[in-house]
Amino acid sequence: MVYIYLQDLPPVSKLEEFEPSLITHVYSEEGELIGEFFEEKRILVNYSDIPQNLINALIAKEDRRFYQHHGIDFYGIARAVLANLKSGKHKEGASTITQQLARVLFLTPEKSYERKIKEILLALQIEKRYSKEEILHLYFNQIYFGHGAYGVEAAAQTYFNKSVKDLTLAECAMLAGLPRSPRYYSPILHPDAARQRRNQVLDWMVKEGKISEKEAREATEEPFKQRIAPVQKQVNKAPYFVEYVRQYLEDKYESRAVHRSGLNVYTTLNLKMQEAAVRTLQQGLRDLDRRQGFRPLKRDKSEEELKAELEKIREEEWASAPAVGQVLHGLVTGVTSKKAVVQMGNSTGSLSRERMAAWTSRSLEAVLKPNDLILVKVIGKDEKTGELTLAYEQEPLVEGALLALDPRTGYIKAMVGGYDFYRSKFNRATQALRQPGSSFKPFIYTAAIERGYTPSSRIEDAPFTVTDPQTGKEWQPENYTHRYYGPTTLRVALEQSRNVVAAKLLLKVGIPQVIDTARRMGIVSYLSPYPSLSLGSSEVTLWEMVSAYSIFPNEGILIEPIFITKITDRNGKVLEENVARAQEVLSESTAAVMVSMLEGVIERGTAKKAKVLNRPLAGKTGTTNDYTDAWFIGFSPSLVAGVWVGFDEKKKLGKDETGGKAALPIWIAFMKEALENEPPEDFPIPESVRVVKMDARSGLLANGGCEGSMVVQVFKKGTEPREFCNGGFGLEDAYSATTYEAD
């Protein structure tokens, strides 16, 4: 019979090749942990780092004759049988540490005589082949300690927020009491049972002579702090980005490898920029939502649902004291005509009627009730009482995305795919196809500059009609202002986002030629070959737009975006290493001309609000005709960032919610934080161009008679204007307030 079971056993020699399931770690460019993937939360620890007190506690509790037996403790079996017969219950087991290890590594948890026999045979083989120290090392790294923690290092961090090597005697005793029944003796779920179990282990250690009675008494008296936070929480400091990394890894290395192999993934994410991106996008979306007005609170959650939500908020938002400027959830505990009292963990705040008046004219009692869960912003703190002054916030229904990269390296620096990853995991930075509106126009102008047009070329801004071959209907583009401005230079037309000029330019250059230019610049989404393409009617992703715009400050060079620099296995072996792949898609002179024109969008055009940053910047706003999408894509010499704002179901953002109003403020706030420690830097000026003073109205060289519309403009050498203006064109000033377009 034994021979039959021996034939069916796995070879214990496999332990020499055994690789326990480990956590895959994802790091930022600074080397900070930003994400992890795992099936079993396990952190390997060296035997030398395991405290002797923990080893002694485990042996005293689980296997007192561990160093005397050879895998099976016959004395222990006899003792357990007698104890169980005496009590009439199965209260005491006799599995050795080696048997437990054999069961976990090689067998199923089913309870049967066949499994027990196999367990004994495997334990005998393991003891014959491996030292006691090696067996303990495997055990401590493999056994489950509850709440998702596998191995003693993960357990120490889960229960005590410290490394195993730093555990006290009392903490060692508590951990040693967990393996038999980690749920019942959990210090999180059952603190009283855990405390009694700890004291029991300490008593056993005294009986075994491993500690003195005084040491046991002092450990018993050590204050017991129950962990309020449940358990293991997966590190994820940049959820949209980390999820993007996960999808890439699973495509290349398969899901099992990603969640069990203990990979180390080094990314390009800048954590400071990422945090700024989350903060500024969320604030911008809340600002837009405020403009849409107050929405009555929904009170459709059951008591159980509210309790579950509060537990999550308590863990994620209320673990530390609220800081001024922070936006977080609060629980209304009382309402009067003058104020609402709001609880946030151990902190209390006051929301006044005056603060609520910015949202609604209704009384506080009419809009807030006790047990309402609301969103608030901390705007002050009373240093004497500790009470917080709060402002009401509203979780927006609108969505948005922000993506930033370094144009010189292609490194993705920040990625936010929505207001809240845990509300919607759909990544609008990489997955959402949306109409870019006027932010598509730079591709038309780039194609024109490549084909001999210059910033001083003029096109008649006047009504025209073209038959749309897609519908067979006549199509007539209109400017945002519903006005027309006559002969207009390309410089002014781009700055003011003149739709009619863009449509005419598209037809003059050729739709296939513009599509070809966009393709070379990295736009891979389908582009409809129709005149409406001039107004950004074809859907693209934010990723495509930001990548394409990065070519302008990078002197015509497209660097393929990179988000992972290196991946190593658990032993440090490099599995892949990514370096920038560069391709020249525009001449440096074309890129320089476009940068100069796009600088004008910020200097005088639809994005002039960005002048507040007081540094060289360029970019383009974008708005769809029905206000469903708002964009701004802009750049400095070292950073390109794009913002998209809209509803998922493509409905109107609201009247006049243009790219300049809905998206640009988010971009400004982000760039202010992202670049705050970088000195202003000028865009490169290649030798193949000339910088001249141009009259924006006529496109001629500026002189004293036309200083009111003088701009500094880059031209390809040989294409700059040769004649001076005389100031006598009689046109309205190209930069008067009435001619600004808002998209």
Q: Give the whole-angstrom CA distance, residue 85 versus residue 730.
A: 112
For 256, counting Cβ atoms within 10 Å of its Cβ (0-12 exposed, 13-18 middle, 19+ buried), the class is exposed
Is the Cβ–Cβ distance between 680 and 582 less than 8 Å? no
Question: How many of the other CB atoms lie within 10 Å of CB of 394?
Answer: 16
Measured in whole angstroms, the distance separating CA 525 from the mean position of its chain's CA atoms is: 24
Residue 610 falls in which region: left (phi positive, over 0), alpha (psi -120 to 50) or beta: alpha
In this structure, what are the phi and psi dihedrals at residue 649, rounded to the nearest 5 degrees?
-90, 10
Sort residue 9 into left (φ over 0), alpha (ψ -120 to 50) or beta. beta
- The reply to whether 62 belongs to the active site is yes
Strand-pair partners of 374: 330
Q: How far, CA to CA in Å, does 551 sit from each of 446, 455, 634?
A: 11, 19, 12
- Residue 540 bridge partners (DSSP): 434
Number of Cβ within a 10 Å radius of residue 165: 15
Separation between Cα atoms, residue 193 and residue 112, nearest integer Å: 29
From 438, 497, 532, 534, active-site residue: 438
Residue 716 bridge partners (DSSP): 689
Mention every residue, 6+ apart, whose C-beta is less than 8 A from residue 676: none
**In whole angstroms, what is the distance from residue 436 CA to residue 439 CA?**
6
CA 160 to chain centre: 28
Q: List the catalytic residue out of 29, 62, 119, 599.
A: 62
What string of DSSP letters covers 345-405? TTEEEEEEHHHHHTT-SS-HHHH--TT-EEEEEEEEE-TTT-PEEEEEE---S-EEEEEEE
Residue 619 phi, psi dihedral angles, 5° rounding = 170, -175
DSSP secondary-structure letter at 659? Answer: I
Burial tier of 679 (Cβ tally within 10 Å: 0-12, 13-18, 19+): exposed
* Distance separating alpha carbons of residues 707 and 691, to the nearest angstrom: 16
Q: Are 278 and 574 in contact (CB under 8 A)?
A: no
The answer to whether 438 is a known catalytic residue is: yes
DSSP 8-state symbol, 60: H
Residues catalogued as catalytic: 62, 438
